[in-house]
């Protein structure tokens, strides 16, 4: 369930474009006005605003925002304005080709998306950056991690409602046990095949079957049998199959705990989940960490950046 709050009456995208341009004029940018508009428009409305802005002012709204804003606020707004597929493509391109390669971020995006989402992301990546996502993944990743990501990008997993075949789930659990904990060494190819080819519902059933059959969680088995980015990818797939909200609540907690804040992670998760399941993430966050997500974000951010993120996260209920 999304947390995004939009006006109850449909807005005029041309009027929004004009109001944004007015916010840019003069000495400094009226960041409050920018947030009031963009943080309360859904993806289709934001796309129309960009279209009208370009038609009226002969300039890409993204370029103007980049010139007017700064810091973390700028990074958050520029990601948010994009449609979901283009946003994921931008995150992946930065993670794979930025000054610092961030394979954890790239792995999270790939391994937490559905096949239909990844298909559109791959198309957006090619259109925007002129190169293939799979090519960049193949260049930046290596070994079993590379094989997992490429398999996950290419495999046509089932996405609809399903009645899971529990016998098949038990067979997969048995295969994973034989490929890992039962033997000396690990058969990584079996883990890659099962984790990349099975639906989310099926993987959740495999995890339940594994625990029932061997009195040990599949997650613990993955942690003991794998490591590094490969293990992180498998855990991301498994945790998102069981509960995406719980997974992202933990990612947000890890980004804000301790000294300092991982703003790249905070921005990525808030902007990519606000229109998807942020209400569920907020509920899981409160259940797991005994404080509201809004309170955590408020304590770790400041200024226009804080106001913008809290507008996307939404009020506590």
| pLDDT tens-digit map of 83-123 | 999 999 999 999 999 999 999 999 999 999 999 999 999 99
Q: Is 34 helix (H, G, I), strand (E, B) or coil?
A: helix
Q: Indicate whether 317 pLDDT > 60.
A: no
* Assigned architecture for domain 13-81: Orthogonal Bundle (1.10)
Q: Output the CATH code of domain 166-242.
A: 1.10.220.10
What pTM was computed for the model? 0.95
Task: Please choose, from the candidates 29, 21, 73, 41, the residue with its C-alpha nearest in 3D space to the C-alpha of residue 308.
Answer: 73
Task: Give residue 184's pLDDT.
Answer: 87
Task: Give residue 137's pLDDT.
Answer: 98
Task: Give residue 230's pLDDT.
Answer: 98
Q: Indicate whether 2 pLDDT > 80.
A: no
**SS3 track for 111-144:** HCCCHHHHHHHHHHHHHHHCCCHHHHHHHHCCHH
Task: Give residue 4's pLDDT.
Answer: 86
- Is-contact 148 234, C-beta < 8 A? yes
Q: Output the CATH code of domain 245-313.
A: 1.10.220.10
Mean pLDDT of the chain: 96
Instruction: Point out the least confidently predicted range of 24-28, 67-71, 147-151, 299-303.
Output: 24-28
- Is-contact 192 226, C-beta < 8 A? no
Burial of 81 (0-12, 13-18, 19+ CB in 10 A): buried
Residue 213 CA to residue 76 CA, distance in Å, equals 45
Kindly report, as residue ranges, where domains of CATH 1.10.220.10 are found in the chain: 13-81, 166-242, 245-313
- Is-contact 228 145, C-beta < 8 A? yes
Q: Indicate whether 316 pLDDT > 80.
A: no
Q: Indicate whether 26 pLDDT > 90.
A: no
Q: Mean pLDDT, to the nearest integer, of 26-55? A: 95
Q: List Cβ neighbours of 105 (8 Å cut-off, separation of 6 or more).
A: 91, 92, 94, 95, 264, 265, 268
């Amino acid at each position: 369930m999304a947390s995004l709050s939009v006006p109850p009456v449909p807005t005029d995208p041309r009027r929004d474009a004009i109001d944004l341009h007015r916010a840019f004029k003069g000495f400094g940018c009226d960041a409050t006005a920018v947030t009031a508009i963009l943080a309360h428009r859904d993806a289709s409305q934001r796309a129309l605003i960009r279209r009208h802005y370009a038609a009226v002012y002969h300039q890409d709204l993204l370029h103007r925002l980049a010139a007017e804003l700064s810091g973390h606020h700028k990074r958050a707004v520029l990601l948010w304005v994009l449609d979901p597929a283009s946003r994921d493509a931008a995150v992946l391109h930065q993670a794979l080709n930025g000054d610092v390669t961030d394979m954890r971020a790239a792995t999270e995006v790939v391994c937490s998306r559905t096949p239909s989402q990844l298909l559109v992301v791959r198309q957006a990546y090619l259109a925007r950056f002129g190169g293939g996502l799979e090519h960049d993944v193949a260049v930046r990743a290596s070994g079993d991690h590379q094989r997992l990501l490429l398999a996950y990008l290419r495999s046509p997993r089932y996405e609809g409602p399903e009645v899971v075949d529990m016998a098949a789930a038990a067979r997969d659990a048995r295969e994973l046990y034989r490929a890992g904990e039962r033997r000396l060494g690990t058969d990584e190819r079996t883990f890659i095949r099962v984790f990349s080819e099975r639906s989310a519902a099926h993987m959740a059933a495999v995890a339940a079957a594994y625990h029932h059959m061997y009195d040990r969680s599949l997650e613990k088995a993955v942690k003991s049998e794998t490591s590094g980015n490969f293990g992180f990818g498998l855990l991301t797939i498994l945790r998102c199959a069981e509960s995406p909200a719980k997974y992202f609540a933990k990612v947000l907690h890890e980004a804000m705990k301790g000294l300092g804040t991982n703003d790249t992670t905070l921005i990525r998760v808030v902007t990519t989940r606000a229109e998807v399941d942020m209400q569920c993430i907020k509920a899981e966050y409160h259940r797991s960490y005994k404080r509201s997500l809004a309170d955590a974000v408020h304590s770790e951010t400041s200024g226009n950046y804080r106001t913008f993120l809290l507008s996307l996260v939404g009020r506590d209920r």
